[in-house]
Homo-oligomer: A and B are copies of this chain.
């Protein structure tokens, strides 16, 4: 609190904040609060767009060489996504996207497979909207939970992720406009990968072909998370087995988890669960 108050006061003094600006700040925080619901998190969006989330991430996850790097959680996770069998399609309602298989293994630092790891996956639709932003959708879409098999393998069927603008109809959008920043995020798929005895990782896979990799509105890109989405003109292997008609894409990525810190069986979604309960009660 001492540090928070010291920096708050120092900021106010440094810019010689006027009463009009103070009222505007109160208004912006209040607008952000009114925007929040069980489907919208404007304060996470502020934290993300002001780079705060990535500073917290960098401080929290000093990973040993080889472990998968983390990035922002973002405001679009929803609880309650169904657990699905390997190869299940999280994009069943998305008819316009290019069919895509994301696959690989969950490994420990020595490269040994981790069986039974949980992969919580979410992604925007080809329209650029998450299900929660899409008025035509009622339930969950583009979300699923997958388990690694006894060889550590996972297989997710989806569509190619797209770049999309973060929501700009609230105070975060006004801030971006006022500061001449674009709202775009490079195409990505969200993952929280967890397994007993390991530290969970909250991360994205980014599409290496995306034009916004260098200017992500939320500063979340890390080189190690950029992945090639490879185009195939003939159905082979998994695609053939799943009846996917070409052309389609594959993205191969192995998640590497480090051992959990002693004593800590941390639920990576604990904060999200508390927020969702708040939103539902409001």
Chain A residues engaging chain B, CB cutoff 8 angstroms: 1, 3-5, 7-20, 22-24, 26-27, 29-36, 41, 43-44, 47, 50-53, 55-57, 59-60, 175, 179, 270-272, 274-275, 278-279, 282
Contact = CB atoms under 8 A, between A and B. Distances in A.
Copies of chain A in the complex: 2
Given A3-B11, A30-B41, 8 more contacts: A1-B179, A9-B55, A19-B57, A22-B47, A26-B271, A30-B275, A32-B33, A34-B36
B22 A3 contact: no
A23 B268 CA distance: 11
Contact of A43 (B11, B30, B57, B175): B30
Nearest to A21: B56
Contact of A29 (B5, B32, B50): B32
Contact of A13 (B30, B55, B179): B55
A22 to B, nearest CB: 5
A89 B81 CA distance: 60
A154 B219 CA distance: 58
Nearest to A61: B19
Contacts of A18: 56, 59-60
B31 A278 contact: yes
A27 to B, nearest CB: 6
A274 B23 contact: yes
30 contacts: A3-B14, A3-B15, A4-B11, A4-B50, A5-B51, A7-B8, A7-B10, A7-B14, A8-B52, A9-B52, A12-B55, A12-B59, A13-B59, A16-B59, A17-B56, A17-B59, A18-B60, A20-B271, A22-B53, A22-B271, A23-B274, A24-B271, A26-B47, A26-B271, A27-B275, A29-B32, A30-B41, A33-B43, A34-B278, A34-B282
